[in-house]
Amino acid sequence: MSHVVVGLADATDLPSIGTLHARAYHPTREWHRRIFPESIAPWWENKYAMDIADPNSYVLKISPPDSPTPTPVLGLLSLRKYDANEKGAERWTSSPLPPEVDKEAYDAMIKSMVEYRERFMLGRVHLCLDHFGVDHEYQGRGMGKMLIAKACEIADREKLDVFVQANEFAESFYHNFGFGTEGRLEMPLDGVTQCFLVRKCS
Ligand SMILES: CC(C)(COP(=O)(O)OP(=O)(O)OC[C@H]1O[C@@H](n2cnc3c(N)ncnc32)[C@H](O)[C@@H]1OP(=O)(O)O)[C@@H](O)C(=O)NCCC(=O)NCCS
C-alpha cells in the first residue's frame, strides 16, 4: 500500500492506540471482547505510554502519512526485548483492570504467555511480540504484512529470536514470515486454542 507508512508510535498516538484492540478484534472474536472489553481503552493507553518510553520496546504503528493530530492508528505491533533470565508478565500485570474484564480468562491468557515464553526463550536475550492487530475495516490490504516485515527486520538487525503467543486463526500468517509453531494450548473453559511460535534470527 502506498498511502500508509510504518513508524514508531509516540505519545500523541495514545488515544487512538487505546481503541485499536477493539477495532481489530471485536468484530470477529468473542473471546477478545470478554478479555479486552471497550472499557479497557485507558488501560491500553497506560501500557503503551510505558512501552513508548521504554528503550527496550518497539511500538510500531501504521497510519496515513501527514495525518492530523491525533494520528489515526490503523495497525499496531509491539515488540519488547527481554533479558536472558527475565521472568514474568512484565507490564501486562502492572495496572488494575476494569471490572468488565473476564479476569479468569485474562489470567489464563497471561499465565500461558509467561509459561511458554519462559519455557522456550529463557537463557538468551530475545524479543517478544506481545500485541498485533489491524483495524478490521482495513484488514486484507497489506498492512499486517508491512508491520510484521518491519518487526522481522528489527529482529534480524538485533540478531534476536522472537516469541509470540498467537491466536490459532493467525498461525499460518506467522508461518509465512519464518515463525515455527513450538506449542499449542486449549485455553481452559473457553475452547480457544493459543499457539506459541518462535522465529529464529537469520
Ligand atoms: C492478522 C492481521 C494482523 C493481518 O493483518 P492484515 O493487514 O489483515 O494482513 P495483510 O493484508 O497484510 O495480509 C498479508 C497476508 O496474510 C494473509 N492473512 C491475513 N490474515 C491472515 C490470517 N488470519 N491467517 C492467515 N493468513 C492471513 C493474507 O491473505 C495475505 O496473504 P497474501 O500476501 O498471500 O495475499 C489482521 O487480520 C488482524 O488484526 N486480525 C485480527 C487480530 C489478529 O489476529 N492479530 C494477530 C495476533 S495473534
What are the respective helix, strand and coil percentages of the chain, to the nearest 5? 45, 25, 35
188 Cα–ligand 1 center, Å: 26
Rounded to whole angstroms, the maximal C-alpha distance in the chain is: 45
Domain range enclosing 192: 5-199
Is residue 196 within a helix (H) or strand (E), and if so which, with residue range? strand 193-199
Task: Tell me what pLDDT residue 1 has.
Answer: 54
Q: Are 120 and 12 in contact (CB under 8 A)?
A: no
CATH code for the domain of 17: 3.40.630.30
Task: Tell me what pLDDT residue 2 has.
Answer: 53
Q: Of all protein residues, whose CA lies closest to atom 15 belonging to ligand 1?
A: 145
144 Cα–ligand 1 center, Å: 6
For the CA of 32, the closest atom of ligand 1 is 42
CA dihedral 109, 111, 117, 123 (to 10 degrees): 170
Task: Tell me what pLDDT residue 71 has.
Answer: 79
For the CA of 133, the closest atom of ligand 1 is 39
Q: What pTM, to 2 d.p., does this model score? A: 0.94
Number of domains in the chain: 1
Beta partners for 57?
80
Block means of pLDDT (10 residues each) for the chain, 202 residues, are 85 96 94 94 96 97 84 95 93 91 92 96 97 96 97 97 95 97 87 94 82
